[in-house]
Amino acid sequence: MVNKKVRAPLPAKSKQLSKTDWLEFALKQLVNKGPDSLKIMPLCEALKVTKGSFYHHFQSRQDFNDALMSHWYERMTMEFIKQADAAGAPLERLKKLDQVIAAHNIEAEMHIRAWALKDVQIAEHLEKIDNQRQQYLKQCYLDLGAEDSLAGELAQIAYGLFLGLQQIHPKPDIETALRLAAMVSGKFVSY
Protein backbone atom coordinates (compact mmCIF):
# COMPACT_ATOMS: atom_id res chain seq x y z
CA MET A 1 0.00 0.00 0.00
CA VAL A 2 1.41 3.39 -0.97
CA ASN A 3 1.18 6.21 1.56
CA LYS A 4 0.07 9.33 -0.26
CA LYS A 5 0.42 12.74 1.32
CA VAL A 6 -2.85 14.62 1.46
CA ARG A 7 -2.49 17.77 -0.56
CA ALA A 8 -3.18 20.94 1.36
CA PRO A 9 -6.38 22.37 -0.12
CA LEU A 10 -6.12 25.84 -1.54
CA PRO A 11 -8.31 28.47 0.09
CA ALA A 12 -11.29 29.54 -2.01
CA LYS A 13 -10.28 31.89 -4.85
CA SER A 14 -13.47 33.91 -4.56
CA LYS A 15 -12.01 36.12 -1.85
CA GLN A 16 -8.69 37.59 -0.89
CA LEU A 17 -6.61 35.35 1.33
CA SER A 18 -6.93 36.28 4.96
CA LYS A 19 -4.08 36.09 7.43
CA THR A 20 -5.73 32.98 8.90
CA ASP A 21 -5.95 31.40 5.42
CA TRP A 22 -2.19 31.87 5.05
CA LEU A 23 -1.44 30.42 8.48
CA GLU A 24 -3.74 27.40 8.15
CA PHE A 25 -2.34 26.64 4.71
CA ALA A 26 1.19 26.97 6.06
CA LEU A 27 0.54 24.44 8.83
CA LYS A 28 -0.73 21.95 6.25
CA GLN A 29 2.29 22.63 4.04
CA LEU A 30 4.62 22.12 6.99
CA VAL A 31 3.11 18.69 7.65
CA ASN A 32 3.10 17.66 3.99
CA LYS A 33 6.30 19.23 2.67
CA GLY A 34 8.41 20.42 5.57
CA PRO A 35 9.70 23.82 6.69
CA ASP A 36 11.40 24.68 3.37
CA SER A 37 7.92 24.95 1.86
CA LEU A 38 7.25 27.84 4.27
CA LYS A 39 9.58 30.24 2.51
CA ILE A 40 7.85 33.12 0.77
CA MET A 41 8.20 31.97 -2.85
CA PRO A 42 7.23 28.32 -2.32
CA LEU A 43 4.16 29.43 -0.36
CA CYS A 44 3.13 31.95 -3.03
CA GLU A 45 3.65 29.38 -5.78
CA ALA A 46 1.64 26.75 -3.91
CA LEU A 47 -1.18 29.23 -3.37
CA LYS A 48 -0.85 30.62 -6.91
CA VAL A 49 -0.60 34.20 -5.64
CA THR A 50 1.95 36.97 -5.87
CA LYS A 51 4.35 38.04 -3.16
CA GLY A 52 2.12 41.09 -2.69
CA SER A 53 -0.52 38.83 -1.15
CA PHE A 54 2.05 37.59 1.37
CA TYR A 55 3.28 41.10 2.18
CA HIS A 56 -0.29 42.32 2.61
CA HIS A 57 -0.36 40.33 5.87
CA PHE A 58 3.29 39.88 6.87
CA GLN A 59 6.21 42.31 6.87
CA SER A 60 8.84 39.61 6.47
CA ARG A 61 9.42 35.88 6.76
CA GLN A 62 10.32 36.37 10.42
CA ASP A 63 7.02 38.18 10.96
CA PHE A 64 5.27 35.30 9.18
CA ASN A 65 7.04 32.69 11.36
CA ASP A 66 6.12 34.65 14.50
CA ALA A 67 2.49 34.84 13.36
CA LEU A 68 2.46 31.14 12.48
CA MET A 69 3.79 30.13 15.88
CA SER A 70 1.39 32.49 17.67
CA HIS A 71 -1.50 31.08 15.64
CA TRP A 72 -0.48 27.50 16.42
CA TYR A 73 -0.04 28.37 20.12
CA GLU A 74 -3.52 29.89 20.30
CA ARG A 75 -5.15 26.95 18.51
CA MET A 76 -3.24 24.07 20.04
CA THR A 77 -2.50 25.35 23.53
CA MET A 78 -4.73 28.19 24.65
CA GLU A 79 -7.92 26.84 23.05
CA PHE A 80 -7.22 23.41 24.57
CA ILE A 81 -6.64 24.98 27.99
CA LYS A 82 -9.82 27.03 27.66
CA GLN A 83 -11.82 23.89 26.90
CA ALA A 84 -10.19 22.01 29.78
CA ASP A 85 -10.85 24.88 32.20
CA ALA A 86 -14.55 24.67 31.42
CA ALA A 87 -14.53 21.30 33.23
CA GLY A 88 -13.98 23.05 36.57
CA ALA A 89 -12.34 20.74 39.10
CA PRO A 90 -8.64 19.92 38.55
CA LEU A 91 -9.21 16.20 38.05
CA GLU A 92 -11.89 16.93 35.47
CA ARG A 93 -9.62 19.51 33.78
CA LEU A 94 -6.89 16.90 33.31
CA LYS A 95 -9.36 14.39 31.88
CA LYS A 96 -10.89 17.00 29.60
CA LEU A 97 -7.48 18.16 28.37
CA ASP A 98 -6.55 14.60 27.41
CA GLN A 99 -9.88 14.18 25.62
CA VAL A 100 -9.50 17.49 23.75
CA ILE A 101 -5.99 16.56 22.62
CA ALA A 102 -7.15 13.10 21.54
CA ALA A 103 -9.99 14.61 19.50
CA HIS A 104 -7.75 16.94 17.45
CA ASN A 105 -5.24 16.45 14.68
CA ILE A 106 -1.97 17.42 16.35
CA GLU A 107 0.29 16.23 13.54
CA ALA A 108 1.88 19.67 13.12
CA GLU A 109 3.37 19.27 16.62
CA MET A 110 6.05 16.82 15.44
CA HIS A 111 6.90 18.90 12.40
CA ILE A 112 7.24 22.09 14.41
CA ARG A 113 9.54 20.29 16.85
CA ALA A 114 11.70 19.02 13.99
CA TRP A 115 11.80 22.53 12.51
CA ALA A 116 12.86 23.94 15.90
CA LEU A 117 15.97 21.75 15.80
CA LYS A 118 17.22 23.85 12.87
CA ASP A 119 15.66 27.26 13.53
CA VAL A 120 16.43 29.22 16.70
CA GLN A 121 13.41 31.51 16.23
CA ILE A 122 11.05 28.52 16.19
CA ALA A 123 12.88 26.93 19.14
CA GLU A 124 12.35 30.11 21.19
CA HIS A 125 8.62 30.03 20.49
CA LEU A 126 8.49 26.33 21.32
CA GLU A 127 10.27 26.87 24.64
CA LYS A 128 7.61 29.40 25.69
CA ILE A 129 4.82 27.05 24.57
CA ASP A 130 6.33 24.08 26.39
CA ASN A 131 6.70 26.14 29.56
CA GLN A 132 3.07 27.31 29.35
CA ARG A 133 1.78 23.78 28.85
CA GLN A 134 3.84 22.38 31.73
CA GLN A 135 2.77 25.24 34.01
CA TYR A 136 -0.86 24.46 33.26
CA LEU A 137 -0.36 20.79 34.10
CA LYS A 138 1.58 21.66 37.24
CA GLN A 139 -1.23 23.95 38.39
CA CYS A 140 -3.75 21.14 37.93
CA TYR A 141 -1.62 18.84 40.08
CA LEU A 142 -1.16 21.59 42.69
CA ASP A 143 -4.93 22.10 42.74
CA LEU A 144 -5.26 18.36 43.38
CA GLY A 145 -3.12 18.75 46.48
CA ALA A 146 0.32 17.70 45.22
CA GLU A 147 3.32 19.44 46.75
CA ASP A 148 5.11 21.90 44.46
CA SER A 149 8.04 19.64 43.54
CA LEU A 150 5.80 16.61 42.93
CA ALA A 151 3.39 18.71 40.86
CA GLY A 152 6.29 19.90 38.70
CA GLU A 153 7.60 16.38 38.23
CA LEU A 154 4.15 15.01 37.35
CA ALA A 155 3.74 17.82 34.82
CA GLN A 156 7.08 16.94 33.21
CA ILE A 157 6.22 13.25 33.09
CA ALA A 158 2.76 13.89 31.65
CA TYR A 159 4.11 16.30 29.05
CA GLY A 160 6.98 13.98 28.17
CA LEU A 161 4.46 11.17 27.67
CA PHE A 162 2.38 13.40 25.38
CA LEU A 163 5.44 14.22 23.26
CA GLY A 164 6.81 10.68 23.30
CA LEU A 165 3.57 9.04 22.19
CA GLN A 166 3.76 11.12 19.02
CA GLN A 167 7.07 9.48 18.12
CA ILE A 168 5.96 5.85 18.42
CA HIS A 169 5.12 3.94 15.23
CA PRO A 170 2.47 2.81 14.93
CA LYS A 171 0.85 5.49 17.02
CA PRO A 172 -1.12 4.23 20.02
CA ASP A 173 -4.89 4.45 19.67
CA ILE A 174 -6.83 7.08 21.61
CA GLU A 175 -7.94 4.67 24.34
CA THR A 176 -4.34 3.60 24.99
CA ALA A 177 -3.12 7.21 25.07
CA LEU A 178 -5.86 8.16 27.55
CA ARG A 179 -5.13 5.13 29.74
CA LEU A 180 -1.39 5.93 29.79
CA ALA A 181 -2.10 9.57 30.63
CA ALA A 182 -4.20 8.44 33.57
CA MET A 183 -1.37 6.26 34.87
CA VAL A 184 0.96 9.26 35.14
CA SER A 185 -1.04 10.71 37.96
CA GLY A 186 -2.69 7.50 39.10
CA LYS A 187 -2.76 8.80 42.68
CA PHE A 188 -5.13 11.53 41.52
CA VAL A 189 -6.65 10.47 38.22
CA SER A 190 -8.82 7.51 37.40
CA TYR A 191 -10.46 7.38 34.01
Domain boundaries, the chain: 68-184
- Based on the number of CB atoms within 10 Å of its own CB, is 41 exposed (0-12), middle (13-18) or buried (19 or more)? exposed
CA distance linking residue 101 with residue 53, whole number of Å:
33
Tell me, what's the pLDDT at 1? 42
Is residue 179 pLDDT above 90, yes or no?
A: no
Q: With a cut of 60, say whether residue 189 has pLDDT above it.
A: no
- pLDDT-derived band at 182, boundaries 50, 70, 90: confident
Res 173: pLDDT: 86
Query: Over 90: is that where the pLDDT of 172 sits?
Result: no
What is the residue-averaged pLDDT of the chain?
89
Secondary element (H or E) of residue 167: none
* pLDDT tens-digit series, residues 85-115: 999 899 999 999 999 998 888 999 999 999 9
Q: What pLDDT shows up at residue 187?
A: 58
- In tens, the pLDDT along 2-38 reads 444 555 555 555 468 999 999 999 999 999 999 999 9
Q: pTM of the full predicted structure?
A: 0.86
Residue 177 or residue 133, greater confidence: 133
Q: What is the pLDDT of residue 14?
A: 43
pLDDT above 70 covers a percentage of the chain that reads 88
Q: What does the pLDDT average to over 172-182?
A: 83
Classified as helix, coil or strand, 53 is helix
**How many helices, marked H, and strands, marked E, lie in the chain?**
10, 0
pLDDT digits (tens, 9 = 90+) for 135-152: 999 999 999 999 999 999
3-state secondary structure string across 101-162: HHHCCCCHHHHHHHHHCCCHHHHHHHHHHHHHHHHHHHHHHHHCCCCHHHHHHHHHHHHHHH
